């Protein structure tokens, strides 16, 4: 295993995490996210899936162990370096985290807007992507009036608009009916085929059974890898 993270996009080596002085919620995690890979992250509720996802998008700092992001040790990263790494990772949150005062278009365009790009340079791309995920007629709608599925697709569009190398999705099918969940899964699979590494956190066994992929199973803070 390349613990230095030379070939892997993200690598964990004996990573542990605890909140405050409490017990470790994640212990001795060692795994890698390879380029163009697809994996499910699963486990019972409270197993630490969301904590692991937060470690994966630099929202938390490990208590111990090493994490390499795109070849760089996370411990040596300066706060000013974080944005450029975060732009290489797209995140779909379980609760979507869309900004309610901004339209669907503006939410999806946000990752490009914060880079300081001129809107004219990305407007057509954002509109095209919104049409592509079936939100072409909801461009000016505010999130509070969107359905759960529409919010989910807007969140996915926001996560992929910047062409991230890694896509993290936390329970992306938790708010949709089974047929739509299957279609969203196909969307992630297609994104993966186009070169994006995908990590989907889910406890939906039925969803995982629909696609043969590596499974990262968290159980009481420890990771078991299958496939």
Which of 71, 134, 224, 225 binds another protein (CB under 8 A)? It is: 134
Residue 153 touches another protein, criterion: CB under 8 A:
yes
Should residue 84 be labelled a site residue for another protein when binding is judged by CB under 8 A? yes
Q: How far is CA 6 from CA 42, 113, 154, 197, in A?
A: 26, 31, 33, 16
Chain residues 40-59 in contact with another protein, contact rule CB under 8 A: 57, 59
Strand ordering across the sheet containing 38-42: 89-92, 166-170, 197-201, 38-42, 214-219, 222-226
Residues 9, 53, 67, 109: which binds another protein (CB under 8 A)?
109
Of positions 2, 73, 190, 220, contacts another protein by CB under 8 A: 190
The only residue of 60, 66, 110, 141 in contact with another protein, by rule CB under 8 A: 110
Question: Which range, of 8-16, 31-39, 114-122, 212-220, touches another protein by CB under 8 A?
Answer: 114-122
Question: Hey, is 77 helix, strand or coil?
Answer: coil
Contact yes or no for 41/200 (Cβ under 8 A):
yes
Taking phi over 0 as left and psi of -120 to 50 as alpha, with beta for the rest, 5 belongs to left
Least spacing, CB of residue 93 vs another protein, in Å: 8
In whole angstroms, how far apart are CA 128 and each of 65, 92, 122, 151? 42, 19, 10, 17
Helix (H), strand (E) counts: the chain: 7, 10
In the complex, the residues that contact another protein under the rule CB under 8 A are 57, 59, 79-80, 82-84, 86-87, 91, 97, 99, 101-103, 105-106, 109-111, 113-116, 119-129, 131-134, 139-140, 147-150, 153, 158, 162-163, 176-177, 179-180, 183, 186-187, 190-191, 193-194
């Amino acid at each position: 295993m390349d613990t230095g993270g030379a070939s892997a996009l993200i690598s964990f080596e004996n990573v542990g995490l605890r909140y405050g002085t409490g017990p470790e919620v994640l212990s001795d995690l060692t795994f890698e996210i390879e380029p163009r890979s697809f994996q499910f992250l699963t486990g019972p509720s409270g197993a630490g899936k969301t904590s692991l996802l937060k470690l994966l998008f630099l929202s938390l700092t490990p208590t111990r162990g090493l994490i390499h992001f795109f070849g760089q040790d996370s411990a040596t990263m300066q706060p000013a370096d974080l944005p450029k790494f975060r732009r290489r990772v797209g995140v779909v949150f379980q609760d979507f985290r869309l900004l309610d005062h901004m339209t669907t278009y503006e939410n999806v365009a946000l990752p490009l807007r914060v880079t300081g790009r001129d809107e004219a340079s990305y407007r057509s791309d954002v509109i095209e992507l919104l049409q592509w995920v079936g939100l072409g007629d909801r461009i000016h709608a505010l999130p509070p009036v969107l359905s759960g599925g529409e919010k989910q697709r807007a969140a996915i569009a926001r996560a992929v608009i910047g062409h991230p190398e890694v896509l993290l999705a936390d329970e992306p099918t938790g708010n949709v009916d089974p047929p739509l969940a299957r279609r969203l899964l196909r969307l992630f699979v297609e994104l993966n085929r186009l070169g994006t590494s995908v990590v989907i956190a889910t406890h939906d066994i039925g969803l995982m059974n629909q696609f043969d992929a590596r499974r990262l199973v968290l159980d009481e803070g420890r990771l078991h890898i299958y496939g």
